[in-house]
Chain A
């Protein structure tokens, strides 16, 4: 779960990390009022959880409350990388001497957290690392030791600070690490971390990505998480289904993430366009299957539904029951291509064939059939 800037900064504040004076607003009126309470010049920042906001025109500067008003009008309601801007952060713009970067993230290859520090900030860390690798240091952290003060000092020294500046950076880095761990962050980064002309360090922008699997430890975030999902994703989450919208017309239901992705790939290879990713998981109950089928029956974008269930432990009769329940309860008919292999296979097939739904053995046959059904010319899909 990606926190937006002001949420991430609220976290930093709680850990004593300095951030600019700022106010979150959701209307032009509020934006004007906020600016009147702050000292100019101002930064007006769209609150959407995407990187590259600045380049996309989501961060603008103003010198008076009237100007803030004009900018707020422009930004509110704008879309940045597909996301609507619903709130703005109005901040006092500081005079900056230098921009740095500091972050903690999960490294899959190192199987642990790493600390990343850069002598340059303000742009994507990947970009800096590629262009000027000598400006970036990374350090593997032992999760049982955490970020020790001497680790933090290594980063501060790498950024070429000494004396009081070194000690205050040490403090800030440790606080960032603590915040990251407390919030189960996969990523916590302050970019840029600015040195102001009066020698203070301030977090100008921050990103926190919380591990979705750890949300049970953060009840306050769990509610927000559901609000952020699309209507389809929310419906799926209610039934414990993994769902992602895609832009085609062929609905897909599978069990297992890898098999679902592979099915999407094979649909493409045979000339079809998947409408979604929908994984019902292992040992899916008839209720879960019914919920999945119902979702796709009710989605007007979906013309044909392809069901690919490879049941090791999934019972095919239960899968068939789920499919039939969904058809009955919605009263909607769409062409179905079904592949069903597993326990009680015969029974499952019989239940479906009574309704004229044929079942095939192989994933590729089902895909070929489904692609042909979308095309509607009686021919199966072709391998390209």
Chain B
């Protein structure tokens, strides 16, 4: 099973005819993801890797049953693409696009909440339930089906860690990138809640980084809910300077908010095992799962 996505989810690709959209549509199809349609304004009536392309989401919805959308639309137009999906009843929207203005993201997330839809990202590698479905851009050969869930704010660092888990014989239930932007749809807490109810997930890896306080909020949630599944975390950016944006729009320490130290202390207090370096995660997990 895993969370949010499985082999039955039908997906549309918005921005399917762009370079990224075409490339990843091919990879997702190869992985077994059910991609039923693509949308690019002005390219309706064409096909990409056998997938029919429509000018509007409304037309795609009219012709197909659609559960989720993945967005590869350039930043200036991405928010509007997400709203188009939401207003047409798509309940899971994965926004890969980086550099969307935060004002636009805020509007999208606010609307999604009102209608009870789920936003993953922006600035995310997406979500994968290994062996079943991926809605994203991650290199899928590094994942193996298994019982560890993963939540990450970054892309390549989550690949690094997934690959190291797989090498150590630890498979994954679902891996989700919540996104590297300051404001993102799904939070650590939202995903932790889903993993708690997922019978296939026995332990969870949290990959955080400097900036904001979503990790601290997750720590409070873990304490308050007396979270029952073992957790391991790695926080990137212990040695980065304050007031500087470290690649991700969201990775910036502002005054006293957002330091790696504060996150590590909060998570430790909540009983989460802290990995000093990425390769320690597999070691810690093995110890916890055996227990």
Q: What residues of chain A have their CB less than 8 Å away from a CB belonging to chain B?
A: 51, 106, 108-109, 111-113, 124, 126, 142-144, 181, 184, 186, 211-214, 216-217, 242, 244, 246, 254-262, 264-266, 268-269, 274, 277, 279, 282, 310-313, 341-342, 362-364
Check B100–A213 contact: CB distance below 8 A.
Answer: yes
Is B199 in the interface zone, CB < 8 Å from A? no
With A126-B256, A242-B247, A277-B246 as given contacts, are A184 and B103 in contact (CB-CB < 8 Å)? yes
Which residues from chain B contact A111 at a C-beta distance below 8 Å? 106, 109-110, 113, 183-185
Q: Which of A112, A214, A260 is in CB contact (< 8 Å) with B247?
A: A260
Is B195 in the interface zone, CB < 8 Å from A? no
| Closest A residue by C-beta to B258 | A108
Which residues from chain B contact A310 at a C-beta distance below 8 Å? 156, 159-160, 163
| Closest A residue by C-beta to B260 | A265
Q: Which of B138, B159, B213, B239 is in CB contact (< 8 Å) with A264?
A: B239
Task: Name 8 A/B residue pairs within 8 A (Cβ), A-sorted.
Answer: A106-B102, A213-B99, A254-B156, A258-B157, A262-B236, A266-B277, A277-B247, A313-B139
Cα–Cα, bound, A216→B109 (Å) = 22
Given contacts A258-B156, A363-B278, 14 further A-B contacts (CB under 8 A): A111-B113, A111-B183, A124-B255, A142-B110, A212-B249, A217-B101, A246-B240, A256-B247, A258-B158, A264-B240, A265-B238, A279-B247, A312-B156, A364-B277
Cα–Cα, bound, A132→B4 (Å) = 43
Q: Which of B184, B209, B213, B279 is in CB contact (< 8 Å) with A258?
A: B209
Q: Which of A242, A268, A312 is in CB contact (< 8 Å) with B238?
A: A268
Is B130 in the interface zone, CB < 8 Å from A? no
| Interface mask (B242-255 → A, CB under 8 Å = 1, otherwise 0) | 00111111110001
Cα–Cα, bound, A147→B75 (Å) = 26
Check A282–B237 contact: CB distance below 8 A.
Answer: no
CB distance from A366 to the nearest CB of B (A): 12
CB distance from B231 to the nearest CB of A (A): 18
Check B103–A257 contact: CB distance below 8 A.
Answer: no
Check B160–A262 contact: CB distance below 8 A.
Answer: yes
| Closest A residue by C-beta to B99 | A213
| Closest B residue by C-beta to A215 | B101
- B179-233: which residues lie under 8 A (CB-CB) from chain A? 180, 182-185, 187, 207, 209-210, 212-214, 217
Check B139–A257 contact: CB distance below 8 A.
Answer: no
Cα–Cα, bound, A340→B20 (Å) = 22
Check B248–A258 contact: CB distance below 8 A.
Answer: yes
CB distance from A364 to the nearest CB of B (A): 6
| Closest A residue by C-beta to B122 | A213
Check B159–A312 contact: CB distance below 8 A.
Answer: yes
With A108-B183, A313-B137 as given contacts, are A259 and B160 in contact (CB-CB < 8 Å)? yes
Which residues from chain A contact B76 at a C-beta distance below 8 Å? 216
Q: Which of B111, B153, B163 is in CB contact (< 8 Å) with A144?
A: B111
Is B155 in the interface zone, CB < 8 Å from A? yes
CB distance from A290 to the nearest CB of B (A): 19
| Closest A residue by C-beta to B113 | A111
Cα–Cα, bound, A312→B27 (Å) = 11
Check A214–B110 contact: CB distance below 8 A.
Answer: no
With A265-B239, A279-B247, A364-B279 as given contacts, are A256 and B156 in contact (CB-CB < 8 Å)? yes
Q: Which of B23, B102, B139, B187 is in CB contact (< 8 Å) with A211?
A: B102
Is B107 in the interface zone, CB < 8 Å from A? yes
Is B54 in the interface zone, CB < 8 Å from A? no
Q: Which of A142, A246, A258 is in CB contact (< 8 Å) with B241?
A: A246
Is B6 in the interface zone, CB < 8 Å from A? no
Check B249–A213 contact: CB distance below 8 A.
Answer: yes
Q: Which has the most chain B C-beta neighbours within 10 Å: A184, A254, A258, A342?
A: A258
Q: Which has the most chain A C-beta neighbours within 10 Å: B139, B142, B239, B245?
A: B239
Is B40 in the interface zone, CB < 8 Å from A? no
Check A244–B183 contact: CB distance below 8 A.
Answer: no
CB distance from A53 to the nearest CB of B (A): 14
Which residues from chain B contact A277 at a C-beta distance below 8 Å? 240, 244, 246-247
- B141-196: which residues lie under 8 A (CB-CB) from chain A? 142, 152-160, 163, 180, 182-185, 187
Which residues from chain A contact B138 at a C-beta distance below 8 Å? 312
CB distance from B59 to the nearest CB of A (A): 26
Which residues from chain A contact B152 at a C-beta distance below 8 Å? 258
Which residues from chain B contact A269 at a C-beta distance below 8 Å? 276-277
Is B234 in the interface zone, CB < 8 Å from A? yes
Q: Which of A244, A268, A362 is in CB contact (< 8 Å) with B244?
A: A244
Q: Which of B99, B182, B246, B279 is in CB contact (< 8 Å) with A244?
A: B246
Which residues from chain B contact A244 at a C-beta distance below 8 Å? 240-241, 244-246
CB distance from A361 to the nearest CB of B (A): 10
| Closest A residue by C-beta to B181 | A213
| Closest B residue by C-beta to A342 | B139
With A211-B103, A259-B160, A363-B278 as given contacts, are A109 and B239 in contact (CB-CB < 8 Å)? no
Which residues from chain B contact A246 at a C-beta distance below 8 Å? 240-241
CB distance from A194 to the nearest CB of B (A): 24
Check B110–A258 contact: CB distance below 8 A.
Answer: no
- B113-136: which residues lie under 8 A (CB-CB) from chain A? 113
Check A257–B248 contact: CB distance below 8 A.
Answer: yes
